[in-house]
Amino acid sequence: MRTVAREQQKSRRYGVIKCDPLVRQGLDRTAKHMVIPYMPMLIPPINWTGYDKGAHLFLPSYVMRTHGARQQREAVKKAPKEQMQTIFEALDNLGSTKWRVNKKVLSIVDRIWSSGGRL
């Protein structure tokens, strides 16, 4: 990434960055294969009660992503519930935070997609 423009208008400063073409090509190639199953939910998530008990109703959810690290996964599973309670409460709080669509960004993305552009 590199900065291509900087401006200051009234009391607001902002800059524009441009992605390196090689990075952009890599993102374009890999984005085709990305699957994002965990979309925002319309109903409140299930409260966390264990390593794999909480959040999404029908998709597997884990209190921590361990990326195949068996020892790390087992350590989290064996942790005393009292020790994990604060973490569960924090995740419940995050999961129940309402989301909304940024309509300004959505309209820009819609225009890009309708003109054949990709993100």
| Boundaries of every domain in the chain | 35-114
The tens digit of pLDDT for each residue in 60-116 reads 899 998 888 899 999 999 999 999 999 999 999 998 888 888 999 999 988 888 888
Asked if 7 and 13 count as a contact pair (C-beta separation under 8 A), the reply is yes
Q: Which pLDDT does position 83 carry in this prediction?
A: 94
How many Å is the maximal CA-CA distance in the chain?
56
The tens digit of pLDDT for each residue in 27-53 reads 888 877 777 777 777 888 999 999 999
| Structure tokens belonging to residue 37 | 């199953």
Please give the residue that has the higher pLDDT: either 93 or 2.
Answer: 93
Q: Which pLDDT does position 52 carry in this prediction?
A: 93
Q: How far apart are the first and last CA of the chain?
A: 16
- Burial class from Cβ neighbours inside 10 Å (0-12, 13-18, 19+) for residue 63 reads buried
Q: Inform me whether the pLDDT recorded for 21 exceeds 70.
A: yes
Asked if 119 and 109 count as a contact pair (C-beta separation under 8 A), the reply is yes
Q: Which pLDDT does position 19 carry in this prediction?
A: 84
In the chain, alpha helices (H)? 21-31, 70-78, 81-95, 103-114
Which of 97, 84, 95, 85 has the alpha carbon at shortest distance from 55?
95
Q: State the pTM of this model.
A: 0.56
- Chain Cα centroid distance, residue 115: 26
Q: Which pLDDT does position 5 carry in this prediction?
A: 64
- CA 40, 36, 67: angle at the middle one, nearest 5? 110
